């Protein structure tokens, strides 16, 4: 059987996607985070005779706490937005890559040829899935490094090594959710476009209440960083969906007939 | 192009992007002008400005007679803050406008850049070792 790397290497568009994907995700996270904080610039002044200067300096503290509080609110928002862009970017990007590597050969008949050659469906599937898993591990490790260096500057929160490690794990898991969702949707429809559309819909739901079920990774990250109690029943069910969908996809692939 | 080279090129591009990002961040300085309306030798003018910073971290202050209030406390010519909000307080006795500049000190994250290129090499090599090409 032809190594899968040879097939990937012969597709220029797929290579371009693989090269540029981490750059695009990091760039859009940066773009989202770099909008200026629009808490108004205020300037005030008062006059004082020299002998009362020290007594009057306490007036410069007026409204300071309120100002700090508003900016810290905006900063928290920026941090949340950046993390969300990273998680959803890995999810959508890995969906795109895996639908090109996994589902497109299924629809154009390459996979049927390989199954006929190897006569072992599980091996063919594993052989095509393993490069995607390695690639999504690569993407999540460099994005975690990016967050480790840039997020403290923009969001001001301390970002130690443990947090970076957990961020890597959760980014990788959201990539895996992309792979299993692609497999599930793609094996039923046999069209590479549908998994991408479904992943967009799932990312849209992550902004609503249903996001706890369909994309629980932001909540999982919070739970790992702060407190495990932040995981509610819906999000644990959402994590379970990862394994359930992988199982159903495998079952469907083994039962499927490919000519 | 082979997969090994693909990941290596991707990680080099990513490292170059991060490098340029940090270079551009180091040049973002904050400029504040205290406008003076009148001069009277008998009185001091106390002025304060609330301003937001482009980055958290270390700054050096270029300008005289200015105190910086941050969440961490009161600072003179040099401060470090985690909240991107500062109040600059100045006590002046001149008729000229006073200009104050805050210069950020952003260190280049060499370790992270090295890590990005290394992980590109390692994962690219994993493709070769696992027999994908």
Q: CA-CA distance, A71 to B56, in Å (whole number)?
A: 12
pLDDT (tens digit per residue) in B4-16: 899 999 999 999 9
Q: Which of A18, A22, A59 sits opposite B14 (nearest CB)?
A: A22
* Tens of pLDDT, residues B56-82: 889 999 888 888 988 888 888 888 888
d(CA B120, CA B126): 10
- Show the CA angle centred on residue B20, arms to residues B16 and B23, nearest 5°: 140
CB–CB contact B51 A41 (8 Å): yes
For the ranges A39-43, A54-58, A113-117, A154-158, the maximum mean pLDDT occurs at A113-117
Question: B38 pLDDT exceeds 80?
Answer: no
Tell me the helices (H) and strands (E) count for chain A, helix number first: 12, 1
Q: Which residues in chain A touch residue B30, judged by CB atoms under 8 angstroms apart?
A: none
- Domain assignment present for A158: yes
A139 contacts A172 by C-beta, under 8 angstroms: no
Q: Does some domain include residue A128? A: yes
| Contacts A146 to B, Cβ<8 Å | 14, 18, 112, 116
- Say which of B18, B49, B55 has its CB closest to residue A149: B18
Bridge partners of B73? B70
Interface contact flag, B132 A41, Cβ < 8 Å = no
Residue A6 pLDDT level (bands cut at 50, 70, 90): confident
Residue B1's pLDDT is 64
pLDDT confidence band for B39 (50 / 70 / 90):
confident
The answer to whether residue A61 is domain-embedded is no
User: Looking at chain A, which residue has its C-alpha nearest residue B22?
Assistant: A150
Structural domain of A205:
4-40+79-255
Under the banding of pLDDT at 50, 70 and 90, the label for residue A1 is low
> Considering only CB atoms, which chain B residues are within 8 Å of A68?
71, 83, 85
Q: Are A71 and B84 a contacting pair at CB < 8 A? A: yes
CB A130 within 8 A of CB B56: no
The class that CATH gives domain B3-129 is mainly beta
Flag whether pLDDT at A2 surpasses 80: no
Give the Cα separation of B55 and B115 in Å (integer).
23
CA dist list (Å): A138 to A25, A93, A168, B37: 13, 13, 10, 59
**Angle, in degrees to the nearest 10, between helices A121-155 and A161-189:** 140
pLDDT of residue A67: 87
A67 touches chain B (CB under 8 A): yes
Contact B69, B50 (CB under 8 A): no
Number of domains in chain A: 1
Concatenating the DSSP letter of every residue in B20-85 gives HHHHHHHT--EEEEE------TT-EEEEEEEEE-SS-EEEEEESSSEEEEETTEEESSEEEESSSE
What is the reported pLDDT for A103? 92
**A88: nearest Cα among A227, A189, A181, A223:** A181
**Mean pLDDT computed over every residue of chain B:** 88
Residues of A in contact with B116 (CB under 8 A): 142, 145-146
Q: Is residue A18 part of a domain?
A: yes
Subunit contact A134:B11, Cβ cutoff 8 A? no
- Two tokens, residue A37: 């904080």
How far apart, in whole angstroms, are the C-alpha atoms of residue A93 and residue A135? 11
Indicate whether A93 belongs to any domain.
yes
Query: What pTM was computed for the model?
Result: 0.91
pLDDT in tens, A237-247: 999 999 999 99
Alpha carbon of A233: minimum distance to chain B alpha carbons (Å)? 35
Top pLDDT among A127 and A168 is at: A168
In this structure, what DSSP letter does residue A50 have? G
Which comes out higher in pLDDT, residue A39 or B29? B29
Mean pLDDT for the stretch of residues A221-242: 90
ipTM score: 0.90
Whether A24 is covered by a domain: the verdict is yes
Residue B43 CA to its chain's centroid (Å): 36
- Cβ contacts below 8 Å, chain A against chain B, sum to 170
Distances (CA, A) of B21 to A23, A192, B16, B24, B122: 12, 35, 9, 5, 24
């Amino acid at each position: 059987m032809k190594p899968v790397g040879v097939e990937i290497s012969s597709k220029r568009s797929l290579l371009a996607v693989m090269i540029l994907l981490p750059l695009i995700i990091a760039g859009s996270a940066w773009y989202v985070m770099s909008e200026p904080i629009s808490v108004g610039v205020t300037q005030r002044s008062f006059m004082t005779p020299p002998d009362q200067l020290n007594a009057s300096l306490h007036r410069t503290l007026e409204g300071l706490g309120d100002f700090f509080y508003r900016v810290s609110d905006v900063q928290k928002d920026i941090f949340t937005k950046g993390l969300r862009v990273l998680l959803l970017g890995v999810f959508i990007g890995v969906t795109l890559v895996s639908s090109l590597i996994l589902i497109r050969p299924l629809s154009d008949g390459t996979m049927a040829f390989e199954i006929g050659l190897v006569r072992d469906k599980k091996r063919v599937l594993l052989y095509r899935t393993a490069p995607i898993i390695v690639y999504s591990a690569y993407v999540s490790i460099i994005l975690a490094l990016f967050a480790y260096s840039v997020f403290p500057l923009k969001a001001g929160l301390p970002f130690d090594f443990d947090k970076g490690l957990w961020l890597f794990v959760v980014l990788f898991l959201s990539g895996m959710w992309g792979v299993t969702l692609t497999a599930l949707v793609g094996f039923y429809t046999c069209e590479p476009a549908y998994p991408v559309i479904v992943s967009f819909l799932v990312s849209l739901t992550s902004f609503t209440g249903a996001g706890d079920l369909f994309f629980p990774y932001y909540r999982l990250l919070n739970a790992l960083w702060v407190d495990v109690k932040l995981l509610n029943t819906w999000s644990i069910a959402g994590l379970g969906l990862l394994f359930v969908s992988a199982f159903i996809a495998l079952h469907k692939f083994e039962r499927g007939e490919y000519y | 192009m082979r997969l090994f080279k693909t990941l290596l090129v991707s990680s080099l591009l990513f490292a170059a992007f991060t490098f340029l990002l940090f270079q551009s961040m180091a040049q973002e300085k904050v400029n504040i002008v205290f406008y003076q309306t009148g001069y009277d030798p008998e009185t001091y003018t106390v002025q304060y400005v609330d301003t937001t910073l482009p980055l958290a971290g270390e700054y050096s202050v270029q300008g005289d007679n200015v105190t910086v209030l941050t969440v961490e406390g009161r600072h003179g010519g040099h401060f470090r803050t985690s909240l991107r909000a500062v109040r600059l307080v100045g006590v002046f006795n001149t008729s000229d406008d006073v200009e104050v500049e805050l210069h950020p000190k952003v260190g280049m994250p060499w370790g992270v850049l090295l890590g990005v290129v290394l992980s590109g090499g390692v994962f690219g090599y994993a493709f070769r070792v696992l027999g994908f090409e």
